[in-house]
Amino acid sequence: MFRGKINWLAHQFWCLRARAPYYLWKLALPEEPFSAYYTYKTIKALKRDERHPSLGRIPKDQQEFDRSGEKYLNILIEAGMQPHHRCLDYGCGALRVGRKLINYLEPGNYFGMDTVPDFFCRGLKAVGQVLLTEKMPLCAVISRESLAEGKAFSPDFVISTSVLQHVPPKEVRAYFPNILAILQPHTKALINYRNGPRVALRSKTSWVHPYTFLAEIVYSLGGRLDQYSANLLLLTADWPRLTSVIEKPMLEEFLPEAEVVNSQQG
């Protein structure tokens, strides 16, 4: 029992130390959500050319990028994706998965979204102008306007990889409405996450989210969440219950002004 108490105290100290930079940042910007802090940290890492767990380092980690992207592409193909399908990549980052999808899908069938253009502009450069001209992918900053464009895109698949694990528990309710707003009756949304018995801080910027915790939130928003595999969720809309929920104003403080990047211009 004493050892258990020591372990608990050690864990609490680790959590406090891991979160200290965020708490200091929050003192300066108390109104900003954690997503803004995560974006700030990621941009700093990119400018210093540091390795980032979800964006990687291009081209130094090219092989790692390719292996991870190929893995998710194979998962999507097993889930029924074919080249003629349309895919929206929510939280596309530096196109770790997006680059494989752009190459696999028919022209105009890939739509990537992220919080700031620095992320996907980096990936578009790595794709290369020849493939961009041929495949015509679209990338946009997540905003109310781009979410409406995403719905009009009428995706067959929506994917969100290495995103939910970086959403703190208090902001999970701001994450799912954005994806639910994109869904059409035929859309299949696959979201990967870190599963565990309870909500827990896993690193400085990532959390473990129990499936039951997430499923209850999604149900309250008008959707349904099923366990697709060990760390992969299948999100669907519960029609027509979803409509009445999505019509309510979303949390606009989490949505910046619209900004779309034309892939033809790199």
pLDDT reported for residue 135: 95
Question: 242 with 165, same domain?
Answer: yes
The answer, yes or no, to whether residue 67 has pLDDT greater than 90, is no
Residue with tokens 């097993």: 78
Domain span at residue 217 reads 31-265
Contact present, 235 and 257 (Cβ < 8 Å): no
- Tokens representing residue 50 in the block: 């540091």
Alpha carbon distances (Å) from 185 to 122, 224, 236: 33, 13, 8
Question: 40 with 1, same domain?
Answer: no
Question: 221 with 206, same domain?
Answer: yes
Question: 24 with 107, same domain?
Answer: no
CATH number at residue 215: 3.40.50.150
Contact present, 240 and 226 (Cβ < 8 Å): no
Question: 74 with 184, same domain?
Answer: yes
In angstroms, the CA 147 to CA 145 distance is 5
Amino acid making up residue 58: I
Number of H helices, E strands in the chain: 10, 10
Mean pLDDT of the chain: 78
Per-residue confidence band for 186, with pLDDT thresholds at 50, 70 and 90: very high
Contacts of 124 (CB under 8 A, 6+ apart): 95, 132, 137, 139, 261, 263, 266
pLDDT reported for residue 203: 73
Question: 118 with 193, same domain?
Answer: yes
The answer, yes or no, to whether residue 212 has pLDDT greater than 80, is yes
- Tokens representing residue 19 in the block: 């979160």
Contact present, 119 and 92 (Cβ < 8 Å): yes
The answer, yes or no, to whether residue 200 has pLDDT greater than 50, is yes
- The SS3 of residue 94 is coil
Instruction: Give me Rg for the CA atoms of the chain.
Output: 19
Contact present, 122 and 114 (Cβ < 8 Å): no
The domain total for the chain is 2
- The SS3 of residue 194 is coil
Contact present, 194 and 165 (Cβ < 8 Å): yes
Question: 10 with 86, same domain?
Answer: no
- The SS3 of residue 41 is helix
Sign of CA dihedral 137, 138, 141, 144: negative
Least confident of 21-30, 135-144, 194-203, 241-250: 21-30
Question: 20 with 99, same domain?
Answer: no
Question: 2 with 53, same domain?
Answer: no
- pTM (two decimals): 0.75
Question: 22 with 115, same domain?
Answer: no
In angstroms, the CA 89 to CA 62 distance is 20
Question: 159 with 181, same domain?
Answer: yes
In angstroms, the CA 119 to CA 173 distance is 24
Question: 4 with 111, same domain?
Answer: no
In angstroms, the CA 44 to CA 234 distance is 33
Residue with tokens 């910027």: 205
The answer, yes or no, to whether residue 17 has pLDDT greater than 70, is no
